[in-house]
Amino acid sequence: MSRADLVVVANRLPVDRDDDGGWRTSPGGLVTALEPVVRRTRGAWVGWPGRADLQIDPFTVDGIDLVPIALSADEVASYYEGFSNDTIWPLYHDVISAPRYRRVWWDAYVRVNRRFAEAAASSAAPGATVWVHDYQLQLVPSLLREARPDLTIGYFHHIPFPAYGLYSQLPWRRQVLEGLLGADVIGFQRVADAGNFAACVRRLLHYETKASGIRVPTADGGSRTTLARAFPISIDAAAYIELAQRPEVQARAREIRESMGSPRTVLLGVDRLDYTKGIRHRLKAYGELLSEGRLQVEDVTLVQVASPSRERVDAYVQLRDEIEQTVSRINGDFDTLGHTAIRYLHQTHPREEMVALYLAADVMLVTALRDGMNLVAKEYVASRIDNRGVLILSEFAGAADELGMALRVNPHDIDALKQALMRAIEMPGAEQGRRMRALRRRVVDNDIDLWSRSFLDALEAARRHKEDA
Ligand code: G6P
């Protein structure tokens, strides 16, 4: 396999090994966002194939060279489920669930980050650009810089970066900052994330920051500049529009409504089953509206798609139990033989089916307690080629910075959430149209292509700057 001019490094490969030894698209927003970019540039992608102890040689899929990284069962438990998803994930999502700080997990995180860095170093052509992704690999930028000073290194952080007061809990807070600062450009979802990061760097490392530039001291006593700023991620809007235009997808949307007894209103939630998504808050608000008689089960159905995620991490096991108990309580209390309050799907569906669901839903509920961006909000908007439907959007999702015409809510405020639900359900068509057109313009103009181009342009500018220095 030849060495590539663009190497993406992410915890997951774009495809996961499934039970039958086949491959399927990996979960989550990161892969959805990046795949079209790498395909276009014919780059290489270094990542884990999603199962323990899988030793696979590099192979090519759709013009992307895939470089699989093997993780032992112990490393999956300590680096992935442990440090990534039971330490960093809850800490960076404002401690919604308590992070666990375990030294053996940190040791595994260092070891596995080194393995990713080594694979990236051997996949990159001289002077190549390497683009590292997300919180599982925060040490890779500096490890890579040590091994290959010729490379231009970018890092994009897909999840929130917390305020200093929370970040400073991390026992390895300096090492993680130093790891990230190995990059020439560090991208965040929101301006606030970049600000939090710069504040942590100032307070913990005492480096100078000026606008988006951070002055990082080098071994020779000089310094170099790392750029840290917001590049809000997006979706392949054209692909969603194309799907929404297909007659068979539109027919499927009608069929979905009919199969539910053609209720007047269909509400929809689509999330990985994660405690950051505010699923419980949304169920609470909906359950109260039913019990107060402000909504009737004959008129309204909530479809909640909750795709399975991180099923061996305790906090996720508990969350699933709570959600499923709440769903069955609400259904038990309010269902009739002909109507169901909540259709709960603990499943993953192909994109066509998701677009049909988006088209079938009058109201989309995004009630995250904290979310880097939330691409589901953007997918819903892009799919609504009919300029109908209402998006309820948490102010704690990164998407709220851009999607100002959504109905904004604080999901912790259950009464406000109930009010927003009622307002969405009763919203006249003309107002839906006005809001949806403005939302769609935002998403269509700022699509995934613009995102990747602006990040790669910033990296290219950093490369030229280094050459001139
Ligand atoms: C979020 C993260 C991704 C992650 C995805 C799915 O989108 O930002 O880095 O891949 O969730 O989570 P998983 O743990 O299954 O990879």
Beta bridge partners of 344: 304
Pick the catalytic residue: 65, 236, 371, 447? 371
Residues 328 and 437 in one domain: yes
Residues 139 and 257 in one domain: no
Residues 24 and 148 in one domain: yes
3-state secondary structure of 45: strand
Residues 246 and 319 in one domain: yes
- CB of 157 within 6 A of ligand 1: the answer is no
- CB of 27 within 6 A of ligand 1: the answer is yes
- CB of 159 within 6 A of ligand 1: the answer is yes
Residue 29 has what pLDDT? 62
Residues 440 and 456 in one domain: no
Residues 143 and 17 in one domain: yes
State pLDDT tens for residues 86-96. 999 999 999 99
- CB of 356 within 6 A of ligand 1: the answer is no
Residues 59 and 71 in one domain: yes
**Which ligand 1 atom is at minimum distance from the Cα of 29?**
7
Residues 155 and 256 in one domain: no
Q: Whose CA is nearest to atom 1 of ligand 1?
A: 28
Residues 177 and 270 in one domain: no
Query: Measured between alpha carbons, how far is 323 from 403 in angstroms, rounded to an integer?
Result: 28
State pLDDT tens for residues 201-245. 999 999 999 999 999 999 999 999 999 999 999 999 999 999 999
Pick the catalytic residue: 16, 158, 184, 236? 158
Query: Measured between alpha carbons, how far is 350 from 105 in angstroms, rounded to an integer?
Result: 34
Which of 12, 131, 310, 348 to mutate for ligand 1's pocket (most ligand atoms within 8 Å of CB)?
12
CATH of the domain at 176: 3.40.50.2000
Residue 36 has what pLDDT? 75
Residue 434 has what pLDDT? 98
The torsion angles phi and psi of 168, rounded to 5 degrees, stand at -70, -10
Handedness of CA 435, 439, 441, 442 (dihedral sign): positive
Residue 42 has what pLDDT? 77
**Which ligand 1 atom is at minimum distance from the Cα of 135?**
9
Q: Which residues of 6-38 are buried (b: 16+ CB within 10 A; e: fewer)?
A: bbbbbbbbbbbbeeeeebeebbbbbbbbbbbbb
Count the domains in the chain: 2
Query: Measured between alpha carbons, how far is 122 from 317 in angstroms, rounded to an integer?
Result: 38
- CB of 439 within 6 A of ligand 1: the answer is no
Query: Measured between alpha carbons, how far is 273 from 26 in angstroms, rounded to an integer?
Result: 15
Task: Write the single-letter amino acid at 294.
Answer: R
Q: Which two tokens stand for residue 304?
A: 């909640």
What is the distance of C-alpha 212 from the center of its chain? 23
CB 318 within 8 A of CB 274: no
Residue 462 has what pLDDT? 95
Query: Measured between alpha carbons, how far is 163 from 159 in angstroms, rounded to an integer?
Result: 13
Residue 340 has what pLDDT? 97
Burial class (CB in 10 A: 0-12, 13-18, 19+), 146: exposed
Residues lower than pLDDT 70 in the chain: 27-29
Residues 207 and 110 in one domain: yes
- CB of 12 within 6 A of ligand 1: the answer is yes
Residue 144 has what pLDDT? 98
Per the structure, the complete domain to which residue 344 belongs is given by 237-445
Residue 469 has what pLDDT? 75
Residues 219 and 82 in one domain: yes
Residues 184 and 270 in one domain: no
Which residue is associated with the tokens 């995934």? 448
Residue 419 vs residues 204, 265, 292, 334, 406: alpha-carbon distances, Å? 43, 16, 13, 20, 14
The torsion angles phi and psi of 407, rounded to 5 degrees, stand at -80, 110
